[in-house]
A and B are shown apart, each in its own frame.
Chain A
Amino acid sequence: MATGLGSFTVTCQCRTVSTGGRRAQASGAGRHGLERIESCRRGGQTAESEHAGQGTTLSESRAVAAAKRLPVLKTHKVYVDGKFPRSESGRFDRALAPDGTPLANVCRCSRKDVRDAVTAARAAQAGWAARTAYNRGQILYRIAEMLEGRSAQFEALLAAGNATPDEAAAEVQAATDRLVHYAGWTDKYGQVFSSVNPVASSHFNFSILEPTGVVGVLAPESPLLGLVSATAPAIAGGNTTVVLVTGSQPLPAVTFGEVLNSSDVPGGVVNILTGRREEMLAPLAAHRDVDALVLCTADPDVARSAEIEAVHNLKRVAVRPHEDWTNVQSPYEIADLQEVKTTWHPIGS
């Protein structure tokens, strides 16, 4: 896996290949698909034109070319509606190693990408909420299985960031265990938080939790454990999510999309966008078809401005300022993204 992180320049080749792939895929996809292809093309051109100024990466490329076998590098795309599109904008940002070395291009998503992701999340929400709690639990457990199976890949991604190998391994394990933890909650939090209310009339009265709906997540800087800790309770509770990855290490999140995609998670349940917070957060926070926000930020100004945008449709807002996500795990994380519904039925004949 480390080979995939070594060089950047070859991304151009991947892009070309991939664009071709998109074209083939889009032949039956209608106008929308074609627009995306054009965007990708523009993106490709932009990337290539910028390469001209990047002597180091090019020289690395020559070094790689001299090696026995040319490694196949990965294009990092976003994860929306169970697919891996590029940003409709065709723009990219560079993921950098701590020393400033470029690691890869990642999509710099636009407000339209946010819109599309919300559409996907909304479309998936009723069906996801209608899954049995047992089934949601199995799917979350399946995510853990997949993550465990790809732990080496994630350790490498984290190590390419600023983690020591031990820290990277610990984070992957913690994230995996966190998924197992929430997998176990899906059919239990309702039992902890629901109630039969002893009303003073001849009615059977009960309060249960129902998912709030579509949850926007501003993912934390913590590249894997924080991401998982913020997202898993939302989907465990039957919500669907649009996750904005805006930190300095987007690659684990992008790769986590691949884990999700191979884990029986229905398309649209988790949508992962990479890009810049200042571009994506406001449209997501203001979007009237998003029901809740999880703001993983310690910056009060960021939280405040998102909260103000959230007033448009009175989103539920949970602010999660943690830097260390080691212990951020409880059914209250699920309950914060639930609505309490109270139902009355007469008892009579």
Chain B
Amino acid sequence: MEPHPRTAHGALRGASFESPSIDAVGVEERVARLCSRSIKKEAKLQALHLTLSMIDLTTLEGADSEGKVRQLCAKALQLHAALPDLPHVAAVCVYPALVGVAKRALEGSGIHVASVATSFPAGQAPLEIKLLEVKRAVEAGADEVDMVISRGRFLAGDYACTADEIASVKEACGDAHLKVILETGELGALDAIRRASDLAMRSGADFIKTSTGKIKPAATMPVVLVMLEAIRDHYLRTGRRIGMKPAGGIGAAKDAIRHLVMVRETLGQDWLDPDLYRFGASSLANDVLRQIVKQRSGIYQSFDDFSM
């Protein structure tokens, strides 16, 4: 493919100028304060239900097979047999090759199929191959596409290239929704995360997403707060609501509730909705279930009480 033209300095400056600078210590303090919110009783139960409805149940292993994906979909369809009144998760997230399996398993359930694409997780492939991968995933039935940005290009200052790539992927998605993974653990600083968020939203992202789950740190609270603030500012400027998906590292219900607090106090009630907030997680659902049963029964639960 054609090499991307190097971004002119003016454009580079323009891109960075529009993103406000971020003071990391201040962000940490804000996060600490948000984490001091105490969520009890009915507020907690509501939050737990909301969390379940926001989960993208995920398997992204080299060893993923049709059997593994079918098992995951079955779990998505029935989180806990003893509690039939629970909301269903938002989506099941798999590799492109397994989209078809998931689509068939979830038919009619209302649960979306999300596919990672664009040479996930490294993104180090020619653009045309990435676009082809996106098209194949959508053809196979993916409702949502989780792409990765080219972090190498971004860190090298090739903002135009990064933006063009996102726009191309968005076009290839057709009706499918596009989540743009920034892989924040590789971006180094909150300033860069803010800039990447702004760039992704301007380039057509429907969601911005922290991480692939393959790199640590992943969805830390400060990173998510900065991305939420970027979404807020984008909305206030354009009226367009972009979704947020933290992924990786959120395994406990307590953490998920802290995220909801952060969303509530940064973006407001409108974003407390699976259409605008997702958790990319593999083990979160069972901890949430454990807490829900505990809230209802008053008895602390074992993980063995819940299906894998």
Contact = CB atoms under 8 A, between A and B. Distances in A.
Interface of A: 202-203, 346-349
A349 B226 CA distance: 13
Contacts of B28: 202, 348
17 contacts: A202-B25, A202-B28, A203-B25, A346-B23, A346-B24, A346-B25, A346-B26, A347-B25, A348-B23, A348-B24, A348-B25, A348-B26, A348-B28, A349-B24, A349-B189, A349-B190, A349-B191
Contacts of B23: 346, 348
A202 B24 CA distance: 10
Contacts of B26: 346, 348
Contacts of B190: 349
A347 B24 CA distance: 9
Contacts of A348: 23-26, 28
Interface of B: 23-26, 28, 189-191
Nearest to A346: B25
Contacts of B191: 349
Main secondary structure of the interface of B (DSSP, over half): helix
A348 B191 CA distance: 11
Contacts of A349: 24, 189-191
B61 to A, nearest CB: 33
Nearest to A203: B25
A27 to B, nearest CB: 57
Query: Which A-B residue pairs are the 8 nearest by beta carbons?
Result: A346-B25, A348-B24, A348-B25, A349-B189, A202-B25, A349-B24, A346-B23, A348-B23
A345 to B, nearest CB: 9
Nearest to B190: A349
A178 B156 CA distance: 61
A347 B25 CA distance: 7
A36 to B, nearest CB: 56
Contacts of A346: 23-26
A349 B28 CA distance: 11
A17 to B, nearest CB: 67
A202 to B, nearest CB: 5
B223 to A, nearest CB: 13
B22 to A, nearest CB: 9
Given A202-B28, A348-B24, A349-B190, 7 more contacts: A203-B25, A346-B23, A346-B26, A348-B25, A348-B26, A349-B24, A349-B191
B192 to A, nearest CB: 10
A349 B189 CA distance: 7
Contacts of A347: 25
Contacts of B25: 202-203, 346-348
A103 B293 CA distance: 102
A237 to B, nearest CB: 33
B83 to A, nearest CB: 43
B51 to A, nearest CB: 30
A346 B26 CA distance: 8
A349 B22 CA distance: 8
